């Protein structure tokens, strides 16, 4: 029966219980459906701490009962099916674009939540099936030969002897930020990113953030949005942090990335429009592809290539006590290596689909993403925990870039790029609607 419910949710046959589609009765108000959806997501979050990434809605909507010993999958799926059934009844004739977006976005978020319940309840999906249902996106495939050709190109650019990964590690060591300088460098990077963002966007007056350095995490950085314009940003120091990561993390986790994305959604959709479904952020949902993709693309929005290199040479390198003489060459290599990013998705796909072992997945990540072996094994722990979520970073960035540039937000038109990027962050968007 559970499989039938998810099937119905996926293909749009919302009246699963009767096998018919009844759209003759008027639909329930969207605000009522939003409340039911939020409460369902919060209830699901009691069984998996990763499900609810952020919540800043009414306190009384939080669950007040003790979670059951086992996940009430059938009851939760039935509720989501009922919500989806009501969403299908909504009369879209005469609605403006934003209201239509609202309905479509909630439909896709409901489907993703149902999929997550199924996965938590033991259902097996392939990597690609899971990604499509959770994130509304179709992951691309690349042959191994493609990545091998990129390796050959990078091989010719690196000094020394040995594997490409070893030579890159040796070369990169000179760009490691000393731990004693991390806070100073990161604070300078995030304050500059904030200044550049505030020059284009009006954020809540009280927006703010706190930075913490932590260890023993499966990720390199995380933004915990607390609501009311406030974020806790954590940076993992288990492994070396290199110069480029200062701006990467400052923008991705802060400005104009996750912190700004969440603040604008809260300001524009929750506070101004009263769309309470956006007061909860379910991590395993289409919202995450936009969140991660925009956070990565936002780096180049805030710091176009030459401006970034100049700022790092003049400000961050001196603060870190590092020599900036090789900065240009370093960033040329980073650009080439960045093209290998999707190789990590292939490792996750093969590993989660049971085609390779954890050890083989780590070896693939060492070879094509130049991770040290212990960090590559840590990356497999991230894959275990977050699964197909990995597509959101690179595929999300690709889709966001294509959307912005298609509408005129190219590198030679930075003001238009900021404008379109701000619109993207302030409206309901999902992968299939980015056109």
Query: Which H or E run includes 53?
Result: strand 52-55
pLDDT recorded at residue 85: 97
Asked if residue 376 has pLDDT above 70, the reply is yes
Q: How confident is the model at residue 148 (pLDDT cuts 50, 70, 90)?
A: very high
CA atoms within 13 A on the CB side of 337: 22
- Counting Cα atoms < 13 Å in the Cβ hemisphere of 265 gives 29
Say which DSSP state 279 is in: G
Q: Is residue 403's pLDDT more than 50?
A: yes
pLDDT reading at 71 higher than 70: yes
Q: What is the per-residue pLDDT across 229-273, written as a single tens digit (0 to 9) for each?
A: 999 999 999 999 999 999 999 999 999 999 999 999 999 999 999
Q: What is the pLDDT of residues 7-58, one digit of tens each?
A: 555 544 334 443 444 445 688 999 999 999 999 999 999 999 999 999 999 9
CA atoms within 13 A on the CB side of 242: 15
**Mean pLDDT of all residues in 188-210:** 96
Q: Tell whether the model's pLDDT for residue 278 goes beyond 70.
A: yes
Phi-psi label, residue 94: left if phi above 0, alpha if psi -120 to 50, beta otherwise: left
**Whether pLDDT at 185 is above 50:** yes
**Residue 160 and residue 378 in contact, taking contact as beta carbons nearer than 8 Å:** no
Q: What is the mean pLDDT of residues 356-361?
A: 98
> Given this model, what pLDDT does residue 435 score?
72
User: Whole-prediction pTM value?
Assistant: 0.93
The predicted structure's pLDDT at residue 47 = 97
Q: For position 1, what pLDDT does the model report?
A: 43
> Contact at 8 Å (CB) between 134 and 388?
yes
Q: What is the pLDDT of residue 24?
A: 52
- Write down the pLDDT at residue 7: 52
Q: CA–CA separation, 319 vs 112, rounded Å?
A: 44
What mean pLDDT value characterizes the chain? 93
Which phi and psi angles does 282 have, rounded to 5°? -75, 120
Q: What pLDDT digit, counting tens, does each position of 85-102 carry? A: 999 999 999 999 999 999
Per residue in 15-52, is it b (16+ CB within 10 Å) or e — as a string? Answer: bbeeeeeeeeeebbebeebbbbbbbbbbbbbbbeeebb
Adjacent-strand bridge partners of 227: 230
Which letter does DSSP use for residue 313 in this model?
I
Asked if residue 258 lies in contact with residue 252, where contact means CB atoms within 8 angstroms, the answer is: yes
In this prediction, residues 154-178 reach a mean pLDDT of 92
Q: DSSP of 201-265, one letter per residue? A: ----TT-EEEEEEE-S-SSSEEEEEEETTEEEEEEE-SS--BHHHHHHHIIIIISSSHHHHHHHH
- Alpha carbon distance 295, 281 (integer Å): 15
């Amino acid at each position: 029966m559970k499989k039938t419910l998810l099937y119905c949710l996926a293909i749009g046959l919302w009246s699963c219980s009767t096998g018919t589609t009844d759209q003759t009765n008027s639909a329930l108000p969207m605000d009522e459906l939003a409340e039911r959806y939020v409460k369902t997501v919060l209830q699901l979050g009691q069984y998996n701490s990763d499900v609810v990434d952020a919540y800043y809605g009414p306190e009384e909507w939080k669950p007040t009962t003790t979670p059951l010993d086992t996940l009430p999958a059938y009851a939760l799926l039935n509720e989501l099916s009922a919500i989806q059934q009501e969403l299908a009844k909504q009369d879209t004739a005469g609605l403006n674009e934003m209201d239509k977006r609202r309905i479509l976005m909630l439909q896709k978020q409901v489907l993703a939540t149902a999929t997550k319940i199924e996965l938590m309840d033991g259902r097996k999906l392939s990597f690609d099936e899971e990604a499509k249902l959770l994130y509304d996106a179709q992951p691309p495939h690349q042959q191994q030969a493609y990545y091998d050709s990129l390796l050959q190109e990078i091989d010719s650019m690196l000094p020394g002897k040995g594997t490409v990964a070893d030579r890159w590690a040796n070369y990169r060591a000179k760009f490691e930020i000393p731990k004693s300088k991390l806070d100073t460098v990161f604070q300078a990077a995030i304050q500059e990113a904030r200044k550049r963002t505030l020059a284009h966007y009006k954020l809540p007056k009280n927006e703010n953030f706190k930075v913490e350095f932590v260890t023993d995490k499966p990720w390199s950085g995380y933004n915990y949005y607390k609501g009311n314009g406030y974020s806790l940003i954590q940076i993992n120091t288990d492994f070396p942090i290199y110069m480029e990561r200062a701006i990467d993390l400052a923008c991705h986790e802060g400005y104009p990335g996750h912190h700004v994305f969440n603040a604008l959604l809260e300001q524009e959709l929750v506070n101004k429009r009263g769309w309470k479904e956006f007061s909860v952020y379910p991590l395993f949902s289409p919202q995450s592809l936009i969140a991660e993709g925009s956070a990565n693309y936002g780096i180049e929005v805030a710091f176009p290539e030459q401006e970034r290199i100049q700022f790092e040479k003049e400000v961050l390198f001196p603060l870190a006590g590092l020599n900036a003489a090789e900065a240009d060459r370093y960033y040329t290599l980073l650009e080439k290596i960045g093209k290998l990013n999707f190789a990590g998705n292939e490792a996750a796909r093969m590993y989660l689909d049971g085609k390779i072992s954890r050890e083989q997945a780590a070896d693939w990540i060492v070879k094509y993403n130049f991770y040290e072996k212990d960090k590559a094994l840590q990356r497999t722990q991230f894959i275990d925990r977050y699964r197909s979520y990995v597509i959101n970073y690179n595929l999300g960035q690709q889709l966001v870039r294509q959307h912005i540039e298609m509408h005129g937000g190219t590198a030679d038109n930075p003001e238009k790029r900021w404008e379109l990027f701000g619109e993207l962050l302030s409206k309901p968007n999902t992968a299939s609607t980015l056109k």
